[in-house]
């Protein structure tokens, strides 16, 4: 029994959870910087809502992707787990865990709205995000096999998770969040494309119609570069226009250089026929760097208020 628990825990991808913590923290700190009220119990519970939903997707994706994961010969850092392939008796338990986590996430969101005066929008956002995460790989929709998987990941990581953090302290959406959301969603799309790139051959065998399977490495890294450049230009435009009084968007523009440079090196590397694995990992690392720098800046801003 204890061995089964260890195997099930190995399905959890720590780097994905870390990315979720960073995205939630950026959203929450933006809310505080924009005049929100920091209520520790509410913020912690709002993050648990995100955490439970995030964990649910780990188990559901491994459960529904088992036929694709059979083609994995050598485990890559960002690829799916082969736990359920090697231990098929755990499949039903993994599915039950995923469903339980999904319902717990939404139920907790509803509870904090009813008893802690959290905005009901948190419940709406996590409901939509958790259903999107479930049907990302679950039939009959199986969004990842219908060409909508990348958009799903971009929405969840770039909008939903920061939004819940923002709502937990600000209490409502406002222009600051909506103006920054497009850049965050573009970074979420870069994340999705970069995570998929190393598994193109496996996904092709398994029938996943991911964008890289359909368009090839060059087009994907060209899209990644275009997204990074657009995000930087948008942030630079906000800085030039002095859109936000509470933020110096010049810092966010500076931070965006990390994913922009990474995307440029990736495009050059693919043109030189180099393996995409290192460039995918570099893209993901650059997004972590952007979020960490944004968090550091926002913390300084909040403590100096």
User: What gap in Å lies between CA 35 and CA 121, rounded to an integer?
Assistant: 18
Confirm if 31 and 168 have CB atoms less than 8 A apart: yes
Q: Which pTM does this prediction carry? A: 0.94
Average pLDDT for 201-228: 81
Number of H helices, E strands in the chain: 16, 0
**Helix ranges (DSSP H) in 78-160:** 83-86, 91-115, 121-135, 149-155
For all residues of the chain together, what is the average pLDDT?
Answer: 90
Per the model's pLDDT, the better-predicted residue between 80 and 232 turns out to be 232
Average pLDDT for 223-246: 92
Residue 2: what pLDDT?
75
Residue 273 has which token pair?
């026929």
User: What gap in Å lies between CA 240 and CA 85, rounded to an integer?
Assistant: 52
State the pLDDT confidence band at 274, using cuts at 50, 70 and 90: confident
The model's pLDDT over 50-102, given as tens digits with 9 standing for 90+, comes to: 999 999 999 999 998 876 666 555 555 555 567 888 888 899 999 999 999 99
State the pLDDT confidence band at 197, using cuts at 50, 70 and 90: confident
């Amino acid at each position: 029994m204890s061995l089964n628990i260890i195997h099930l825990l190995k399905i959890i991808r720590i780097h994905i959870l870390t990315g979720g913590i960073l995205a939630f923290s950026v959203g929450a700190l933006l809310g505080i910087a924009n005049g929100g009220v920091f209520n520790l119990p509410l913020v912690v519970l709002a993050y648990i809502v995100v955490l439970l939903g995030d964990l649910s997707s780990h188990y559901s994706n491994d459960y529904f992707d088992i036929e694709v994961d059979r083609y994995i010969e050598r485990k890559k850092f960002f690829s799916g787990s082969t736990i359920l392939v090697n231990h098929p008796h755990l499949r039903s338990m993994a599915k039950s865990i995923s469903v339980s986590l999904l319902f717990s996430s939404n139920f907790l969101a509803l509870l904090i709205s009813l008893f802690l005066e959290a905005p009901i929008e948190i419940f709406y956002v996590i409901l939509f995000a958790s259903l999107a995460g479930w049907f990302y790989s679950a039939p009959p929709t199986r969004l990842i096999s219908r060409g909508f998987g990348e958009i799903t990941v971009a929405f969840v990581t770039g909008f939903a998770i920061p939004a819940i953090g923002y709502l937990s302290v600000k209490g409502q959406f406002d222009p600051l969040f909506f103006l920054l959301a497009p850049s965050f969603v573009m970074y979420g799309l870069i994340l999705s494309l970069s995570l998929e790139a190393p598994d193109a051959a496996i996904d092709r065998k398994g029938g996943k119609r991911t964008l890289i399977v359909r368009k090839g490495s060059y087009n994907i890294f060209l899209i990644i570069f275009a997204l990074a450049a657009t995000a930087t230009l948008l942030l630079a435009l906000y800085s030039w226009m002095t859109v936000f009084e509470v933020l110096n968007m010049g810092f966010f523009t500076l931070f965006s250089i990390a994913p922009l440079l990474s995307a440029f090196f990736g495009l050059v590397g693919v043109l030189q026929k180099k393996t995409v694995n290192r460039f995918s990992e570099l893209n993901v690392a650059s997004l972590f760097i952007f979020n960490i720098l944004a968090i550091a800046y926002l913390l300084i801003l909040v403590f100096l208020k």
